[in-house]
């Protein structure tokens, strides 16, 4: 059922649920890339089926790489590092992982490739990736000279060699280069300058590459040496999405209830699982098994200062939880929220303020003071085309009557069934 233009959230008390979340966006889109480069068929199970993976699949098909989908299983006919199409114009909408990963992948081909997205994507930087590709011998440019998409790659294979990557804005550039690099003509050495955000995503990339048979030598997050190599086609099971799990754990924290997420656990490679630890620091009871994690709200949420540089997609979730803490919550080291689906720091301040919260915003931090009184009447929350604004603010609606989410359909980027799952978190 399509979602209406606005959606009123129904408050819930003491949720008690055992749920699984959709497949990880980050792992689905990485596995699609390594499977596309491997020789032969890879079967990826538990994939995310949502806009961000759909645009990736459509793009791979346009490049001549077949992907068959049955439910959440995707079978990719890898082309052994070849990119069959000689030209393509790819619309990656608002998917950062897709446009970054594919910009590096098409460099392995021969021909002219244009990669573009929606209006907001045309404001999201990609120049640092283009500069590193240029240093590796690729003709890759920002078509409108904005440092943002559309990107044009005039590909003639990836010569390889050494490049310095400015790492300060996004880890996705590094992940993109690493995954394509085994198919360069000579080994690739990448040195990262600046302080890389979102570091666990780089570990995830290296783990996935190793799972597909290519080991990278590294010196921390500074230097990476990628040998010439080949991925081996394989069956691969995608974990549940830890960012998606975050909303459900937060629902337990906020309602004094209990939620077990059955497909994100202690063995997960996703750094975003640490949100459960932050909720534990705030006062929740959290228990882990290898494959699942249960958060129990205790009725008390402490404030504090939390550095979310390694999992900034959880910042909006934590900022909404903060409304109901007993002291202010400061979230630090999250500058790059400003270049995501929207400027998330400004968006948070604007929408939290509508609920009546006192909010302070700095260049790379935000402080949310606890709500002293619920808002009077309904409050319509703007979501700025950002799935995480919609999902995080829906959590406020579990506690406050009258929260209305504008453009709820934007959750389709990574969690199309979010509102159904949320509404089903009833006490058993």
Ligand X SMILES: O=C(O)C1=C[C@@H](OP(=O)(O)O)[C@@H](O)[C@H](O)C1
Ligand Y SMILES: C=C(OP(=O)(O)O)C(=O)O
Rounded CA-CA distance 329/121 in Å is 30
Closest CA to 361 of 383, 340, 335: 335
Q: Based on the residue annotation, tell me whether 16 is a catalytic residue of this protein.
A: no
Residue window 111-150: x/- pattern of binding to ligand X, with contact defined by CB under 6 A = ----------------------------------------
Q: Is 172 in the site for ligand X (CB under 6 A)?
A: yes
Mask for 300-319, x = binds ligand X (CB under 6 A): ------------xx------
Among 28, 171, 263, 270, binds ligand X (CB under 6 A): 171
120 binds ligand Y (CB under 6 A): no
- By CB under 6 A, name the one of 51, 313, 351, 407 that touches ligand Y: 313
Judged by CB under 6 A, does residue 294 bind ligand X?
Answer: no
**CB nearer ligand X, residue 32 or residue 284:** 32
171 is in an annotated binding site: yes
Show contacts with ligand X in window 216-245 (CB under 6 A).
none
In eight-state DSSP terms, residue 412 is: G
CB atoms within 10 A of CB 281: 11
Q: Is 16 helix (H, G, I), strand (E, B) or coil?
A: strand
Minimum Å gap between C-beta 8 and ligand X is: 28
Figure out which of the listed residues 95, 175, 367, 383 binds ligand Y, where binding follows CB under 6 A: 95
SS3 301: coil
Candidates 42, 393, 414, 422: give the one binding ligand Y (CB under 6 A): 414
Copy the structure tokens of residue 186.
């000579």
208: closest CA among 179, 243, 168? Answer: 179
At closest approach, how far in Å is the CB of 260 from ligand X?
24
Q: What angle do CA 348, 351, 354 make, to 5 degrees?
A: 145
Is-contact 47 238, C-beta < 8 A? yes
CA distance 423 to 1: 15
Q: Which of 91, 241, 272, 313 is catalytic?
A: 313
182 prior amide bond cis, ω within 30? no
Binding site for ligand X (CB under 6 A): 26, 97, 170-172, 175, 197-198, 201, 312-313, 336
Q: Active-site residue numbers?
A: 313
């Amino acid at each position: 059922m399509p979602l209406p233009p606005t959606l009123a959230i129904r408050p819930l008390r003491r949720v008690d649920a055992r749920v699984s979340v959709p497949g990880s966006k980050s792992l689905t889109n990485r596995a699609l890339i390594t499977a596309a480069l491997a020789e032969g068929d890879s079967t990826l199970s538990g994939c995310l089926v949502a806009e961000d993976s759909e645009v990736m699949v459509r793009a791979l098909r346009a490049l001549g790489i077949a992907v068959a989908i049955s439910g959440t299983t995707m079978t990719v006919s890898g082309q052994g590092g070849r990119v069959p199409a000689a030209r393509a114009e790819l619309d990656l909408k608002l998917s950062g992982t897709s446009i970054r990963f594919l910009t590096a992948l098409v460099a392995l081909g021969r021909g002219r490739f244009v990669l573009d997205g929606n209006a907001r994507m045309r404001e999201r930087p990609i120049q640092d990736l283009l500069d590193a590709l240029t240093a590796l011998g690729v003709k890759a440019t920002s078509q409108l000279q904005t440092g943002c998409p559309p990107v044009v790659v005039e590909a003639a294979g990836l010569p390889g060699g050494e490049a310095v990557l400015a790492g300060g804005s996004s880890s996705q550039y590094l992940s993109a280069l690493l995954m394509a690099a085994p198919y360069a003509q000579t080994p690739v050495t990448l040195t990262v300058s600046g302080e890389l955000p979102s570091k666990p995503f780089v570990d995830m990339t290296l783990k996935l590459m190793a799972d597909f048979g290519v080991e990278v030598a590294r010196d921390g997050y500074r230097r990476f040496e990628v040998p010439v190599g080949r991925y081996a086609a394989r069956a691969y099971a995608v974990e549940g999405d830890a960012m998606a799990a975050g909303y459900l754990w937060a629902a337990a924290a906020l309602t004094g209830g209990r939620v077990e997420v059955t497909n994100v656990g202690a063995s997960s490679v996703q750094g975003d699982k640490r949100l459960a630890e932050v909720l534990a620091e705030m006062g929740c009871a959290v228990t882990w098994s290898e494959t699942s994690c249960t958060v129990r709200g205790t009725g008390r949420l402490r404030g504090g200062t939390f550095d979310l540089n390694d999992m900034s997609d959880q910042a909006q979730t934590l900022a909404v939880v903060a409304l109901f803490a007993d002291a202010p919550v400061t979230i630090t080291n999250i500058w790059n929220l400003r270049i995501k689906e929207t400027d998330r720091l400004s968006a948070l301040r604007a929408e939290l303020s509508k609920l009546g919260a006192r909010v302070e915003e700095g260049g790379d931090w935000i402080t949310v003071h606890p709500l002293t009184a619920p808002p009077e009447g309904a409050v319509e929350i703007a979501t700025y085309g950002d799935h995480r604004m919609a999902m995080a603010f829906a959590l406020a609606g579990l506690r406050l009557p009258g929260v209305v989410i504008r453009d709820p359909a934007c959750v389709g980027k990574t969690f199309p069934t979010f509102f159904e799952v949320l509404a089903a978190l009833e006490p058993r």
